[in-house]
Structure formats: structure tokens, C-alpha cells
Amino acid sequence: MAIQTATTGQLENAQRILIAESMYTAEHNAPCKNLIQHMTLGNAKQITLPTVAQMTAQNLTDGVDFVDSSAIGMTTQDLTTGEIGLKVILTDKLLRQENEDVFKIVGRQMGDAHARKVDNDIIALFSALNGGTTLGADNATLSLTAMGGCVAYMKAAKAPAPISAVHHPNAVANLAMSSAAIGATYYAGIMPGLSDELLRNFWKMVVSQVNIFEDGNIEKITGVDSGYGAIFSKDAMCIVEGKAPYTERDRKPSLRAWEVVMVQDYGVWEINDTYGAPMRHEIGALVTT
């Protein structure tokens, strides 16, 4: 007598689809995660990140001993993680009767939710970069002149490459329109040091070796039409992963259903304040007539 179990046939195949869809969507659905440093926590409680100060070389006189000695000037920062997750319960009746592959639908939704949460957590760091000193202002449009000023500010701060700028699609549209008359040299392709595969859907242009990306998760500041984007080196912020996103399923016989959960353990951190700055510009809807 043949016995059908939870691992028989299409249900097991659907579970693989769910995992694959969740992972793909979470990886490709938001730009900010792929523009900053990645660290892995493993089984440890935290990462203690050391930072050392710059040293200054001295002028010497032949035959005369050094006057001063230099200090390492080390400071440390503790980086920790926290869990996020979501749960979906799929009944046997739904799985039997739904025309679409429910597991694939749920996998896409789970991946979207996790990607959006990580992206929003990184965006929340933007306004604190550069000690909170903001480039741009309320009612300021992100023109090519304004973008050039932001790029110059970051390069004068000696931020290491690759440097990226991220803003709302409406702000980036204003930038694109202001640069259109100058020519196509701003659209040559993503500069080296970043993943073309993961970022091509968000990348828009390059200004003076700085990649410009759009991110629809950036929101208006309450009561106004401006919002915070940011310009930053890859070394300005980091994401620490304690455990990459994973899915599990559990049979609930009394419900005649399957419980599916997706969990991720991570933290996002500002690690070098001087390597980034918030960019406040208008992100309201553009005129379409």
C-alpha cells in the first residue's frame, strides 16, 4: 500500500521553490545591503570592531633623536545582531484548490518583506551619518550641480572608493533630467567594486566616479516633500549577519495546515561616521504634463 507523506511529490518540490524564491527575492529586491560592508557573526555573541587613528610622520634632523613618539589610538565598537521573521499558515484546502503555486507566492512575499526590512534599517542610518550634518535642504532639488557638490564634499572628506549615492526615484529623476542636456557620458555603467548582477536594476548613472542608485523605500519626512538619501563609502556602514535568511515548515494536524516561517539574524551599523553624509532633497511627485 502506497503511503503519501509530506515529502512525497509536489509538496516537497513546492518547498524547494519557496526557499529558492525567498532567497532570490531577498537578495535582489533592495540596493542598500549590497552597497555596504558585510560581516559574519557566526556563533559568537558580537563582533568587536577596532579602529585606529592616523599617525603623522615627523621631520627629522640628522644625528638628533626623535622628539615625540606616536600612539596607536585604538577605539572599539561592539556590533551585535537581532532576529526578524514572519510566519504564514497554509491550509491543506488552500493548497489543493488554489490554481497558482501557493508556496511560490508565499516565497516571493517573504523575500520581499525581509529585503524591505533590511533596506529600511539601513536607510534609517542615513540621517545620522556625518554627525547628522546634512547635505542639501528642504525644498532643494537634486540637480547635477547639487550632486556634484555632494560628490566633492565626500571626496574632500577622503572617503575611500567605491562611493555610492542612494536617493528616492523622484530625486534621481530630477538629477537625470538636469544632466540630460550634457550628454550620455553619465550612463556608461556601474563603476568597479560593486556587483552588477545585484544592483543593475537600481543603478542610474555615474557622476565623477560615484555610482547613483534609486531606492523607493526612502520616504518623505513628516509634513514636507523632502526625504533623506545619502552619499557614502562602502566602508561607512556594515551589515552583520548572525544567520542568513532561512525557511522552515511545520505540520499542524489539528489545523489541517502547514506553518511556514522565515527568520533572519542580522544588525546594521554605522562604522565610520566621516565616510558618509545624508542628502536631503525633494522627493515629491514630478510634473507629468
Q: What confidence score (pLDDT) does residue 188 get?
A: 56
CATH code where residue 276 lies: 3.30.2320
237, β-bridge pairs: 270
Domain that holds residue 40: 10-47+75-121+238-266
204 and 107, same domain (yes or no): no
Ordered mean pLDDT values, 10 residues apiece, the chain (289 residues): 40 59 68 91 81 80 83 83 91 79 83 91 96 94 94 94 94 85 52 67 84 93 96 96 87 88 94 95 90
Helix (H, G, I), strand (E, B) or coil at 15: helix
Q: Which three cell numbers stand for residue 207?
A: 557622476
Q: Exposed (0-12), middle (13-18) or buried (19+): which is 225, by Cβ within 10 Å?
A: middle
Q: Please compute Rg for the chain using Cα positions.
A: 24
Q: Which residues pair with 270 in a beta bridge?
A: 237
Pair (205, 222) in one structural domain: yes
Query: Rounded distance, CA 275 to CA 272, Å?
Result: 6
Pair 77, 51: CB distance under 8 Å: yes
Whether residue 159 is contained in a domain is answered as yes
Which residues share a beta bridge with 229?
279
- 276 and 173 together in one domain: yes
Number of domains in the chain: 2
The pLDDT of residue 183 = 44
Q: Quick check: is 221 in a domain?
A: yes
Exposed e or buried b for every residue in 31-52, given b needs 16+ CB within 10 A?
Answer: bbbbbbbebebeeeeebebeee
**Do 136 and 232 fall into the same domain?**
yes
Q: Are residues 166 and 276 in the same domain?
A: yes
DSSP structure class, residue 275: G
Say if residue 276 is in the same domain as residue 154: yes
Q: For every residue of 181-234, which 3-state class applies, written as one string?
A: CCCHHHHCCCCCCCCHHHHCCCEEEEECCEEEEECCCCCCCCCCCEEEEEEEEC
Whether residue 90 is found in the same domain as residue 229: no
One domain, residues 232 and 244: no
The pLDDT of residue 4 is: 34
For residue 113, give the C-alpha cell. 518583506
* Residues 278, 134 contacting (CB under 8 angstroms): yes
Same domain, 116 and 242: yes
pLDDT confidence of residue 93 = 86
The pLDDT value given to residue 14: 55
**Cα 28 from Cα 199, distance rounded (Å):** 8
**189 in the same domain as 79:** no
Q: What is the CATH number of the domain that holds 19?
A: 3.30.2400
CB neighbours of 51 closer than 8 A, spacing ≥ 6?
Answer: 74, 75, 76, 77, 271, 272
Same domain assignment for residues 255 and 213: no
Edge-to-edge strands of the sheet including 237-252? 37-40, 237-252, 257-270, 82-91
